[in-house]
């Protein structure tokens, strides 16, 4: 879940401050780090104030992650294109496009925000990629450009395309349609009670010892 984060709960037995209550229940955890990373939620809202006051019977939901306390940064090698309006950044597999429930700072968007710190604008990705997907993400440098790029995406003039790269196997066909039900239990998995997933794989080429497929997602 959320980059190997573990979800925990506390039911408040007597009113008090968030930091004190969490420390009493989990004295071995770095509670301040969890709170300041953005891993604490109360009534579906993220709480960053260690002194936040809670009443009896309220519930604290929090996430413990090895990525808490880390701040993602992008290097020049990750920037594939940049102009005065936007930049295109490579997202490696295993890093979120945006913040998750466990941390505000270990994600590609935070890295881009840090890179664009002189712009005085908190950027947003035009389209997101899933955690384990690697690829290119467009980031606007101003609110006006963000609006224009979102309009282009709504008009389908900007879109996402997926490639699957597989080790060569003569048994693999040129064309494959897969229909499954997908759930999420710490990571995506087959689940007969999950959401319908329909994907089409079309082989484009063979490069060295790999098969390159275009992937079309219908759901």
Instruction: Tell me how far apart the alpha carbons of residues 212 and 161 are, in angstroms, rounded to a whole number.
Output: 13
Query: What are 184's two structure tokens?
Result: 């999420």
Q: Which CATH class is domain 76-160?
A: alpha beta
pLDDT score at 187? 67
The dihedrals phi and psi of 74, each to the nearest 5 degrees, come to -105, 145
Q: What is the distance between the alpha carbons of residues 110 and 115, in angstroms, rounded to a whole number?
A: 9
How many whole angstroms separate alpha carbon 89 and alpha carbon 112? Answer: 8
40 neighbors 25 (Cβ within 8 angstroms): no
pLDDT at residue 2 is higher than 60:
no
Dist. CA 114–CA 105, nearest whole Å: 10
Q: Per-residue pLDDT tens for 56-75? A: 999 999 999 999 999 999 99
Residue appearing with tokens 């960053």: 48
CATH topology classification for 6-64: 3.10.290
**What gap in Å lies between CA 109 and CA 105, rounded to an integer?**
8
- pLDDT, one tens digit per residue, over 150-197 is 999 999 898 888 999 999 998 888 989 989 888 876 667 888 888 888
* Parts of the chain belonging to CATH 3.30.2350.10: 76-160
Chain region(s) in the chain for CATH 3.10.290.10: 6-64
pTM (2 d.p.): 0.84
- Kindly state the percentage of the chain with pLDDT values over 90: 74
**Separation CA 99–CA 67 (nearest Å):** 11
Q: Which tens digit of pLDDT belongs to each residue from 77-121?
A: 999 999 999 999 999 999 999 999 999 999 999 999 999 987 778
Dihedrals phi, psi of 15, to nearest 5 degrees: -60, 150
Q: If you average pLDDT over every residue of the chain, what do you get?
A: 92
């Amino acid at each position: 879940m959320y980059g190997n984060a573990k979800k925990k709960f506390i039911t408040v037995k007597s009113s008090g401050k968030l930091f004190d209550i969490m420390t009493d229940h989990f004295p071995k955890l770095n509670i301040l780090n969890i709170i300041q990373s953005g891993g604490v939620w109360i009534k579906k809202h993220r709480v960053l104030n260690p002194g936040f006051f809670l009443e009896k019977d309220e519930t604290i939901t929090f996430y413990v992650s090895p990525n808490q306390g880390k701040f993602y940064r992008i290097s020049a090698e990750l920037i594939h294109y940049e102009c005065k309006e936007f930049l295109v950044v490579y997202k490696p597999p295993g890093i979120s496009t945006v913040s998750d429930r466990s941390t505000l700072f270990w994600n590609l968007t935070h890295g881009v925000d840090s890179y664009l710190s002189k712009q005085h604008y908190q950027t947003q990705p035009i389209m997101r990629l899933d955690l384990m997907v690697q690829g290119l993400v467009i980031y606007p440098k101003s609110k006006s450009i963000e609006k224009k790029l979102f309009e282009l995406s709504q008009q389908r003039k900007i879109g996402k395309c997926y490639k699957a790269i597989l080790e060569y196997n003569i048994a693999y066909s040129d064309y494959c349609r897969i229909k499954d039900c997908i759930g999420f239990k710490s990571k995506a998995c087959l689940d007969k009670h999950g959401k319908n997933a329909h994907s089409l794989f079309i082989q484009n080429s063979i490069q060295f010892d790999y098969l390159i497929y275009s992937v079309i997602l219908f759901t």
